[in-house]
């Protein structure tokens, strides 16, 4: 083969690949760009939460890890949404079936909870005074109040009208083979919602209301479940366990999330600090558009009989 032939062959291949690339990018049937934008949203608003013993010393030891979601900012404070069991040493809502005498416990003084992302320069320590949680709902809110030199993208709240067979996406920082280091990489998965649980199912599932088929493992607790437009509808944190006494009762294929609307309901009926100007957690909850969330507004107003002043401050 002479030089002229090889050059001609090279340009022929280049033109062919260029045509394929143009078709790939501009084809109306291609979802690659949309999926990449969704990945960027997940990457920029999902955070790592690590628990260290003897942090910032030569004897530092990684004790546990989870995930979280940047879901609001008020003045200079970012608010992170995660599971209560991620930031507590013992959380009875999930443990009481094994230990009926358990008590919710903070991590000891030797442990430090820190928040960071794969792209952040710093990691941000969280003390016991920097988060709140609920005993009946596996959710915690972390308040990061620092002189930030970097910014985090806030994940928007979805309309929340989820249904079985709806396409959803999960993300988090799993402690799995190839990703078992303290500073883990973000994993994501696509799946559909399997079921929306009612009262009986939620009681068995510790008030987790959404069942889905996305891959979830240890370290992804507190990570987001989002719709195709990248808006938050659920907080992952529970995985099915095998039942050794009944071989056909296999729920390992299912994962569970808390519907984000359940958090709004808890805030309406509890003193979380969201409505108290003196609290560190004042206005931690993102306000909802009444137009987009009309059904939730009507439910809170009519069925829950919520206090109207609080309700009006929750919607715009």
137 and 59 housed in the same domain:
yes
Give the pLDDT confidence score for residue 173 in this predicted structure: 97
H or E element: which one contains 295? helix 294-298
Q: Enter the tokens of residue 92.
A: 């009875």
Give the pLDDT confidence score for residue 192 in this predicted structure: 97
Give the pLDDT confidence score for residue 307 in this predicted structure: 85
DSSP character string of 40-88? HHHHHHEEEEEEEESTTSTT-EEEEEEEEEEEEEETTEEEEEE-HHHH-
Give the pLDDT confidence score for residue 101 in this predicted structure: 83
106 and 196 housed in the same domain:
no
CATH of the domain at 254: 2.40.10.10
Give the pLDDT confidence score for residue 97 in this predicted structure: 64
Do residues 42 and 226 lie in contact, with contact meaning Cβ atoms separated by under 8 Å?
yes
DSSP character string of 140-205? EEEEEES--SS--PPPPBP-----TT-EEEEEE----TT--SSSPPPEEEEEEEEEE--HHHHHHT
Give the pLDDT confidence score for residue 3 in this predicted structure: 35
C-alpha to C-alpha distance for 47 and 51, rounded to whole angstroms: 13
Q: What is the pTM of this model?
A: 0.85
Is residue 38 in a domain? no
256 and 270 housed in the same domain:
no
Is residue 10 in a domain? no
DSSP 309: H
Range of the domain at 111: 44-145
272 and 249 housed in the same domain:
no
10-residue averages of pLDDT along the chain (316 residues): 40 42 43 80 96 92 95 96 97 78 92 94 94 96 90 90 93 94 94 91 89 94 96 92 52 87 95 96 96 92 88 91
134 and 174 housed in the same domain:
no
Give the pLDDT confidence score for residue 45 in this predicted structure: 97
Is residue 36 in a domain? no
Instruction: Count structural domains, the chain.
Output: 3
Give the pLDDT confidence score for residue 279 in this predicted structure: 97
Nearest partner of 157 among 44, 289, 50, judged by Cα: 289
């Amino acid at each position: 083969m002479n030089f002229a032939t090889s050059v001609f062959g090279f340009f022929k291949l280049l033109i062919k690949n260029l045509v394929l690339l143009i078709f790939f990018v501009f084809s109306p049937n291609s979802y690659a760009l949309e999926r990449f934008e969704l990945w960027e949203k997940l990457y920029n608003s999902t955070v790592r939460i690590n628990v260290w013993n003897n942090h910032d010393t030569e004897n530092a030891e990684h004790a546990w890890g989870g995930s979280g979601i940047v879901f609001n900012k008020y003045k200079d404070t970012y608010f992170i949404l995660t599971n209560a069991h991620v930031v507590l040493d013992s959380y009875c809502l999930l443990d009481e079936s094994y230990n009926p005498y358990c008590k919710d416990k903070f991590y000891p003084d030797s442990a430090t909870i820190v928040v960071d992302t794969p792209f952040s320069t710093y990691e941000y320590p969280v003390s016991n005074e920097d988060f709140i949680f609920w005993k009946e709902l596996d959710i915690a809110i972390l308040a990061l109040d620092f002189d930030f030199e970097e910014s985090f993208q806030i994940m928007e709240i979805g309309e929340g009208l989820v249904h079985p067979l709806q396409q959803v996406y999960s993300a988090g920082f799993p402690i799995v083979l190839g990703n078992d280091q303290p500073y883990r990489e973000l994993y994501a998965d696509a799946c559909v919602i399997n079921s929306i649980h009612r009262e009986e199912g939620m009681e068995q599932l510790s008030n987790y209301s959404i069942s889905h088929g996305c891959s979830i493992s240890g370290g992804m607790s507190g990570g987001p479940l989002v719709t195709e437009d990248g808006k938050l509808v659920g907080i992952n944190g529970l995985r099915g366990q095998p039942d050794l006494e009944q071989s056909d009762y296999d729920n390992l294929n299912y994962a569970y999330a808390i519907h984000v609307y359940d958090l709004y309901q808890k805030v309406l009926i509890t003193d979380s600090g969201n409505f108290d100007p003196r609290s560190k957690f004042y206005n931690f909850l993102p306000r909802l558009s009444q137009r987009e969330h009309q059904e939730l507004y009507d439910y809170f107003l009519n069925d829950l009989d919520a206090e109207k002043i609080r309700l009006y401050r929750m919607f715009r």
